[in-house]
Amino acid sequence: MTLADHLPILPVIIPALAAPVILLVIRRRPWLGVAAALVSCLGLLVCALALMARVSDGSILAYAVGEWPAPFGIVLVADRLAAMMLVLTACLGLIAWLHAVVTGADRKGWHFHALFQFQLMGLNGAFLTGDLFNLFVFFEVLLIASYGLMLHGQGPARLKAGVQYVVVNLVGSSLFLIALGMLYALTGTLNMADMGLRVAAIAPGDQGLLRIAALLLVSVFALKAAVAPLHLWLVRTYAVSAPAVAALFAIMTKVGVYSLIRVVPQVFGDSAGAAAWVPAPYLLPAAMVSAVIGFAGVFTARSLSEQAAYAVIGSTGTLLIAVAGWSADSLGAGLYYLAHSTFAAAALFLVADVVARRRGSFGDSASPGPDFAGRSGVALLFMAAAIAATGLPPLSGFIGKLLILKSVAALPDWGWAWGVILGTTFFGVVGFARVGSAVFWKSAGGGGGGGAPHAPVSRADLAAPIMALTLLAALSAGAGWASAYANAAAVQVLDPAQSARAVLTQGAR
């Protein structure tokens, strides 16, 4: 095997090596730790892009860890969808990391860089694995790392929110295990592709159990994705996290969505009897409620970060409206929107931080504050981020929403879906306009009302949000390629037989 053959596992290995190395060097030579983190982030990006290039022809790479044949060992599966998620993670990781370093957030507590690398490792592992229990393990890796990151820098708000975040996720993990136990008891396998084949043979007497297991598993993913009414944990958690961390967390809810997209067609597809397309009756209503709740939150939020947190819920809802169609078109639209909404949410959190850092005690609250240097520029960034988050042209959110609208038109409930998507966009427009005009316009000349003088802030912190927005612009300009890729990924995901062939033959090498 050459190094290229190891490509599917490198996104896990690189951060898993970087983290302990950072741990060892960072006390003595902090710069070396930072350098190691940078090398890892860049390496991940290169690997992810290389992987994407490898799989963009439609091939599916199966990597049997330990050379144990599938389904007996653990197989990593790199297909278009996985590669896409890896690229997203790598880009987002680089941006969030850069912001943390530039703003000094990484020095507010212990082990930021190690936790960050472990977080990336968990994410990448979750996106790559073809094994359900291994997915659980990587969920836990990314969760525990996220606990650490979320609490990084601490303070009462984070600690309070942290307790809730951790406890809710512990309950989620318990559910995951119960579902796993049932699925193993019923199918005798843990490999997703294999399980997808075995569910077809489940006896009629076991159908109830199968459906329960499937529903439990799906609800775990829904909890991670913050789908209403399982979304209650998200707002406080994201709003209080360090902005760089919150930006990275933009991908965290997507892990839940990804798992749903990965597992449902593969395991609970047409042949799954009572568990066939198991989230079907619930996903669309829940997604619509999430979208409404999220953008209603955006509409009334009282601070930029709160707004960003609600936007995450809303965009996940929108995305799941597309996913709920389970057609190649709608899933493709959803995947494109997924990529978009990840960067859009990150951009919002980062811009909120840029604002907060300049307004002293006024923070990012939606109230008039002191004027600050470079306000127009920051306002422009905010506007761009808000445009992206609401889905207005010319940024990719608009294209994503058009794709979703077009694709869900085939659903029986398309009218509701359209109403929700367009209506929530309206909420978003109004909400962002109001907050933006309060923060950036009302302060102008109005003399912020006795805001404490604040030290000038280096403009270097604009880099990360600009990077995020640039990616959004690229996603818009390259929407043709991106949406074609997303569609191809969707087609591939919806063809579990192809994946099963690849995993169970190639992985069995």
Partner 1 sequence: MSYEFLLATAIGVLVAGGIFLALRARTFQVVLGLTLISYAVNLFLFASGRLVVGRPPIWDKSVSAYTDPLPQALVLTAIVITFGMTAFVVILSLRSFLETGSDHVDGDKVPCDAQDGLADRRADDHEDTRA
Partner 2 sequence: MAIALTLLTLVALPFVAALATALLHQATRAVHSAIAAAASAGGLVLLASLAGPVIGGEIPFATWQWVPSLGLDLTLMIDPLGLMFAGLILGIGLLVVIFAHFYLDADEATGRFFASLMLFQGAMLGIVIAGNVLLLLVFWEMTSLASFLLIGFWQHRAEARQGARMALAVTGGGGLALIGGMVLLGLVAGSFDIATILARGDIVRASPLYPVLLGLILLGCFTKSAQFPFHFWLPHAMAAPTPVSAYLHSATMVKAGVFLLARLWPVLAGTELYTGIVTSVGLTTMIFGALVALFRHDLKSILAYSTISQLGMLVMLLGFSLETAALAAALHILNHAAFKAALFMSAGIVEHETGTRDIRRLGGLAKAMPMTALIATLAAASMAGLPPLGGFISKELMLYETPKLALLGLPWLLPALATLGATFSVGYSLRLAGHLFSGRPREAEPFARAHDPGFGMWAAPALLTVLAVLLGLIPMLLAGPLTGAVTAAITGAPAPAFDLALWHGLNLALILSLIAVAGGALLLWQHKRLLAAWERASLPDAKRMFEASFAFADKWVRKATVAVHTPSLQRMLLASFAVIVLLVIDGIQAGGSFTGTRSLLPASPLAFIAWALLIAATAAVVNDSHNRLRVLIYISVIGLVVSLTFVQFSAPDLALTQISVEVVTILLLLLALNLLPKSPPLLSSAPRKWRDGMLAVTGGVLVGGIAWAMLTRDPGPSIAAYHLANAKSGGGGTNVVNVILVDFRAFDTLGEIIVLGIAGLGIFALLDSTATGAAGARLRAWREDMPHSPERHPLMLVAASRIVLPLTLTVAIYLFLRGHNQPGGGFIAALVAAIAFLVQYLAAGFDWSDRRKRIGEHQLIAWGVLTAMATGLGAFLFGSSFLTSTFGYFSLPLIGKFELASAMLFDTGVFLTVFGAVMLALAQLSHIAARAARAHAAQHSEGGGA
- Could you say whether residue 494 binds partner 2 (CB under 8 A)? no
53 binds, among partner 2, partner 1, none (CB under 5 to 8 A by kind): none
∠254-258-262 over CA atoms, to 5°? 175
- Could you say whether residue 197 binds partner 1 (CB under 8 A)? no
Residues 12-51, mask of contacts with partner 1 (x by CB under 8 A): ----------------------------------------
Residues 131-160 binding partner 1 (CB under 8 A) are 133, 137, 140, 144, 147, 151, 154-156, 159-160
Q: Name the residue among 92, 100, 94, 141 with its Cα closest to residue 121.
A: 141
Least Å distance between CB 155 and partner 1? 8
The dihedral region occupied by 284, where left means phi > 0, alpha psi between -120 and 50, and beta the remainder, is: alpha
How many Å apart are CA 243 and CA 239, to the nearest integer? 8
171 or 444: CB nearest partner 1: 171
Q: Measured over all CA atoms, what is the biggest interatomic distance in the chain, rounded to whole angstroms?
A: 73
107 binds, among partner 1, partner 2, none (CB under 5 to 8 A by kind): none
Alpha helices in 56-131 (DSSP H): 80-103, 112-128
Q: What DSSP designation does 68 have? A: P
504 binds, among partner 1, partner 2, none (CB under 5 to 8 A by kind): none
How many Å apart are CA 205 and CA 202, to the nearest integer? 8
170 binds, among partner 1, partner 2, none (CB under 5 to 8 A by kind): partner 1
- Could you say whether residue 210 binds partner 2 (CB under 8 A)? yes
> Considering only residues 8, 15, 125, 162, which one is a binding residue for partner 1 as defined by CB under 8 A?
162
- Could you say whether residue 203 binds partner 1 (CB under 8 A)? no
280 binds, among partner 1, partner 2, none (CB under 5 to 8 A by kind): none
296 or 338: CB nearest partner 2: 296
- Could you say whether residue 58 binds partner 2 (CB under 8 A)? no
∠154-157-163 over CA atoms, to 5°? 80
Two tokens at 43?
Answer: 């390496």
Type of residue numbered 166:
V
Residues 325-344 binding partner 2 (CB under 8 A) are 332
Residues 94-113 binding partner 2 (CB under 8 A) are 109-111
86 binds, among partner 2, partner 1, none (CB under 5 to 8 A by kind): none
Binding window for partner 2 (CB under 8 A); candidates: 60-68, 99-107, 343-351, 457-465? 60-68
Cα separation values, 14 from 69, 119, 127, 229, Å: 24, 12, 15, 37
- Could you say whether residue 115 binds partner 2 (CB under 8 A)? yes
Two tokens at 138?
Answer: 């990587």
How many Å apart are CA 53 and CA 47, to the nearest integer? 10
442 binds, among partner 2, partner 1, none (CB under 5 to 8 A by kind): partner 2
Judging by beta carbons within 10 Å of its beta carbon (0-12, 13-18, 19+), is residue 218 exposed, middle or buried? buried
- Could you say whether residue 469 binds partner 2 (CB under 8 A)? no
Judging by beta carbons within 10 Å of its beta carbon (0-12, 13-18, 19+), is residue 49 exposed, middle or buried? middle
- Could you say whether residue 212 binds partner 1 (CB under 8 A)? no
Contact 289, 321 (CB under 8 A): no
Cα separation values, 208 from 195, 230, 271, Å: 17, 24, 15
- Could you say whether residue 123 binds partner 2 (CB under 8 A)? no
- Could you say whether residue 412 binds partner 2 (CB under 8 A)? no
Least Å distance between CB 72 and partner 2? 4
> Considering only residues 184, 282, 414, 418, which one is a binding residue for partner 1 as defined by CB under 8 A?
184
- Could you say whether residue 394 binds partner 2 (CB under 8 A)? yes
- Bridge partners (DSSP) listed for residue 191: 131
**Tokens 């507590």 belong to which residue?**
109
Residues found near partner 1 in the complex (CB under 8 A): 133, 137, 140, 144, 147, 151, 154-156, 159-160, 162-164, 166-167, 170-171, 173-174, 177-178, 180-182, 184-185, 190
